[in-house]
Amino acid sequence: MNRDKILFITGTDTDVGKTVVSLLVMHALAGRDAVYLKPVQTGCTDPERDSDPAFVHRHLTGGLPHGMTAASCIHSCRPLPKAPLFAGDPVDFEAVLHFITDQASRHDITIVEGAGGVFVPVTQNRTMLDLAVAAKASILVVGRAGLGTINHTLLTLEAIKARGADCTGLILVDPTNSVPERDRMENSAAIENFSGRAVLGVIGHIADLRHPEPNSLTVIDKLFPLLP
Q: Taking residues 152-175, what's their average pLDDT?
A: 96
Report the alpha-carbon angle 34-165-99, nearest 5. Answer: 40
- Write the CA distances from 213 to 11, 20, 185, 220, integer angstroms: 23, 13, 21, 12
C-beta of residue 171 within 8 angstroms of C-beta of residue 219:
yes
- pLDDT score for 225: 82
Name which of 45, 48, 114 is nearest 84 in CA terms: 114
- pLDDT score for 224: 84
Q: Taking residues 160-173, what's their average pLDDT?
A: 95
pTM: 0.95
Q: Give me the percent of the chain exceeding a pLDDT of 90.
A: 93
pLDDT digits (tens, 9 = 90+) for 3-49: 459 999 999 999 999 999 999 999 999 999 999 999 999 999 999 99
- pLDDT score for 228: 63
Residue 219: Cβ within 10 Å count? 20
Local confidence band at 226 (pLDDT 50, 70, 90 cut-offs):
confident
Catalytic residue list: 38
Q: What does DSSP say about strands 76-77 and 40-41: parallel, antiparallel, or unpaired?
A: parallel
- pLDDT score for 3: 41
Question: Does the pLDDT at position 2 exceed 80?
Answer: no
pLDDT digits (tens, 9 = 90+) for 108-148: 999 999 999 999 999 999 999 999 999 999 999 999 999 99
pLDDT digits (tens, 9 = 90+) for 36-68: 999 999 999 999 999 999 999 999 999 999 999
Q: Taking residues 155-170, what's their average pLDDT?
A: 95
